[in-house]
Structure 1
Amino acid sequence: MDQLDSPVPIPTATITKPKYVPPPRPLSRRILQVIRRGHLYVGLMLFPWAILYGVTGFLFNHPTLFADAPTVRFSPADLQGTPLESPPSPQQQAEAVLAALNAQQQPTEAYGMGGDPACYSARDTFVATVKAADRSFFVVYEPLSNSGTIRETTTRVLAEKAPFATGRAEPPRQRGMGMGGPMQHQHGGISIPDSIIERIQSAIPTLLQRHGFPSGAVTVTTAPDIRFPVMVGEQLWTAKYNPITTAVTGTVGEPQNELTVRTFLLRLHLTRGYPGEISTKWYWAIGVDAIAVVLCFWGVSGLLMWWQIKATRLPGLIVLAVSAITATSLGIAMHDILSR
């Protein structure tokens, strides 16, 4: 075939499609993206702290777990045959205090009990310390459940006595736990026969021996007040009796709520541990455990979610490293301070 008869290709123009430019995202979505990224990086920054608070909160709520000293719980069965086998109720103690007040002061018209029952006030546990040779023990007694905890306080054994020593070292005292020194007995107070303090002091040596601990001098350092209504003539008073100091105080009228918001929040933060009976505090302890577990889960799951976003791996790794180094450094520094 002649070349003149062959078809001539017709050039075609190349059509270039315009590059797709996505429309700008709405301001609300951009703000949400910033919040998500901020949440992610803040979560990475707080990861060491979340784990720390989760673990320490769990240990705080379970004082016998990984204890650095022998710690045991005792039950009502351990108190059989001791003066605490049947402890006096707040009502019985209040009636004894009122009888002693009438006998001591001999008012024209005898003081009488008001209508409301007596109860423990401010706290509901007794704390005692035991000195046994070179060992000391910390006993918390819960009268409502007739149970409690025995913990040996940690003391260092000195290999050699310092030549300049003038006395015997005492174990560290814990504020708020009855180890800041015993409450002092006040002269002129109201002593009642067979008081719960005497029963605790008599029962603890037997209790310690049943759990394999040596016995020694027992000092009850902390006790709850016993609050009860008193009728002075036609006037209602609210009385408070402390079993240790034996002091009786009172205010006119119904008991006043002295719990401020700040004090309530601080006490709420410090409330921990499972009491011997199922009560509101017991359910609160479950909540503390739940928060501790959730904090740890939140930290670990946050790591997994962060790693799924490739664009944030490097900056997130930097934030995590800086936070871990900071937390570790502060932890070491705090250890040095607390171990002095």
Structure 2
Amino acid sequence: MPDSMIEEPPAPPLAVTRSTADVLAAARSAAPVDPAEGRRMGATKTRGQKLAAGAMKLVRRIHLFSGIFMFPFVLLYGFTGWFFNHPRLFTGDEVRTFAAAEFESSEARALAELPTPEETADAVIEELNVQGFLFGGPEFARTDARRPTYNRAITLGAAAEDGTSHSMQIDPIRGSGEVRTTLPADPAGGEPPADPLGGIAFVQLRPGADALTVAEAAAPAALGELGLETSGPTTAGRRTPSLSFSATADGAPITVTYALGSGAVSAKADDADAGPTDYKRFLQRLHLARGYTPQKDTRWIWAVVVDAMFVSMVFWGVSGLFMWWQVKRTRTVGAALLVLAVLFSAYLAVEMHAEFALAGGRGGR
């Protein structure tokens, strides 16, 4: 038989086929990792993992949609807080800045030579020692434990004959500052509206005609039945309620406001021109508005919004920490920032507490 008719055996394969287990293992190792859960996508989840994933999905959805719903109120509190910190912005005043060295007269140039905080503090100590010597008080001496500091700038006011007012703000250390000039109101609006009450400013109601007097009379007995001892009469708090209602004055519709604590009354005609709206002041009043009214009106709804804002901000902070912890690659940097934030906020809290204690009153000073 010719050699050309003899079949040659097939060549051996170039590579040995891997087992099925090796293929599955390679596929699992190549599967992408879910960064939110820290596990490989496609792997079988346990019941606990499914519950945790569902809970985190719910947290992310609430975080997202609550942020969308509360977005207008976040802007409101952010901008109005900024207005409170910078009360001179957006007032419409004419502003002139000055430096003490620019003045020509010796009287005005005295601003460039203001006493230093240390000099003023020494003068206070000197006067205290004089008073202590005269009246048998202690002896005083200034220390370096706390350096003398001012809590705000010097503010001076002046007015012109045409009604223009000037507010001068001076740096008590450098002597520089600014002057804000407020022009008189435009007289084009005519005379102010007449008082619908005809000059009546106070009314005295008969006993038992308002809730405050009845509550004051009943409070001692109520406190006694609650097991609380008292001495002397009960007194109303600093913020007593006011009652607003509609009425007519010679047939004209008006809104009357009666202060239960003082008996003061005021009124405004329903058709009176409210005048131009001061939007900055309006937004600041919204920022400060709080507290639930006895009846469910607009102010009651606003109080609900204030509580919702509190809940939302706390939730955003806590849920943000949970969402950060799910991303493993950001844990180290996030933990460092969290520790830094806690330390920084604690430092500010301690220092501001000391400032408030020195102020001896309200924190805003």
Give the shorter-chain TM-score range: 0.3 to 0.5
Instruction: Report which of the two has the higher share of helix.
Output: 2
Q: Which one has the largest radius of gyration?
A: 2
After TM superposition, the score normalised by the length of structure 2 is: 0.34
